[in-house]
Amino acid sequence: MFVVLILLVSKFSALCALPNTKVVKALNTVTGRTMVYPQEVAGGDHNVFVSANDMDAKMQVVDLLRAFGWTNIFDLGDLSTARGTEAYMLLWVRLFGAMNTGMINIKIMK
């Protein structure tokens, strides 16, 4: 069992206040509807990112993402990598404005 905790303070402050908490960062690059219905954007052919220090906690979130229908789960690494997804939101907001919809996301291709 895991608990979803929404924090309105910095990650650092939260970890100092709750040192035994396992934090997993995911789903902050998509809208609420896309979070639970990923197939509604490009038939589900896009990525969701996951960052965490604890592998067991990360795998619980990955299992939850799969239950929602996510197939392209991109493990960025430890929790410090969450800064990248936070910075991406600057671009996401501009895309939202330009496309006049929040039902958007990106796909990582190599």
pLDDT tens-digit readout, 77-104: 999 999 899 899 899 999 999 999 999 9
- Per the structure, the count of domains in the chain is 1
**Residue 15 within a domain:** no
The pLDDT confidence band at residue 20, using thresholds 50, 70 and 90, is confident
Domain that holds residue 85: 24-99
- Whether residue 110 is contained in a domain is answered as no
pTM of the predicted model as reported, rounded to 2 decimal places: 0.83
> Does 104 fall in a domain?
no
Largest CA distance in the chain: 42
Is 38 among the domain residues? yes
- Determine, yes or no, domain membership for 39: yes
Rounded to 5 degrees, φ, ψ at 32 are -55, -40
pLDDT classification of 38: cutoffs 50, 70, 90? very high
For residue 53, give the DSSP letter: S
Looking at the domain assignment, is residue 75 inside a domain?
A: yes
Q: Is residue 88 part of a domain?
A: yes
- Cβ-based neighbours of 106, under 8 Å, separated by 6 or more: 29, 46, 47
* Rounded Cα gap, residues 81 and 36, in angstroms: 23
> Within a domain: residue 13?
no
